[in-house]
Amino acid sequence: MTISFENRVAIVTGAGGGLGRAYALELAKRGAKVVVNDLGAARDGTGHSDAALKVVEEIQAAGGTAMSNGGSVTEYEQMVEMVAKAKEAWGGVHVLINNAGILRDKSFTKMEMADFKLVVDVHLNGSANTTKAVWDLMREQNYGRILMTASSTGLFGNFGQSNYGAAKLGLAGLTKTLYLEGAKNNIRVNTIAPVAATRMTEDLGMPEAMFKALSPENVAPAALFLVSEDAPTNMIIGAGAGAFHAAYVTLTPGIALPHDQRTPEGVAAAWDQIIARDGEIVPQTGGQQSAVVMAALGKIGGLEA
In tens digits, the chain (305 residues) has pLDDT values of 999 999 999 999 999 999 999 999 999 999 999 999 999 666 666 655 689 999 999 999 999 999 999 999 999 999 999 999 999 999 999 999 999 999 999 999 999 999 999 999 999 999 999 999 999 999 999 999 999 999 999 999 999 999 999 999 999 999 999 999 999 999 999 999 999 986 555 555 667 777 788 999 999 999 999 999 999 999 999 999 999 999 999 999 999 999 999 999 999 999 999 999 999 999 999 999 999 999 999 999 877 65
pLDDT at 210 (0 to 100): 75
Of 250, 248, 236, which is closest to residue 281 (Cα–Cα)? 250
Query: 29, exposed or middle or buried, with CB in 10 Å at 0-12, 13-18, 19+?
Result: middle
pLDDT at 205 (0 to 100): 60
pLDDT at 153 (0 to 100): 97
pLDDT at 48 (0 to 100): 52
Q: In what order do the strands lie in the sheet with 236-240?
A: 65-69, 33-37, 9-12, 95-97, 144-149, 187-194, 236-240, 243-247
pLDDT at 55 (0 to 100): 97
- Domains located in the chain, CATH noted: 9-247 (3.40.50.720), 259-298 (no CATH)
Q: What are phi and psi of 132, to 5 degrees?
A: -60, -40
Q: Which of 23, 143, 164, 179 is catalytic?
A: 164
* Torsion sign (Cα): 59, 64, 69, 72: negative
With a CB cutoff of 8 Å and minimum separation 6, the contacts of 73 are 13, 14, 37, 39, 79, 98, 100, 122, 126, 127, 129, 130
pLDDT digits (tens, 9 = 90+) for 118-156: 999 999 999 999 999 999 999 999 999 999 999 999 999
pLDDT at 202 (0 to 100): 56
pLDDT at 29 (0 to 100): 98
* Residue 76 bears catalytic tag: no
With a CB cutoff of 8 Å and minimum separation 6, the contacts of 61 are none
pLDDT digits (tens, 9 = 90+) for 254-284: 999 999 999 999 999 999 999 999 999 999 9
Q: For residues 20 and 14, what is the distance between their CA atoms, to the nearest angstrom?
A: 6
pLDDT at 203 (0 to 100): 56
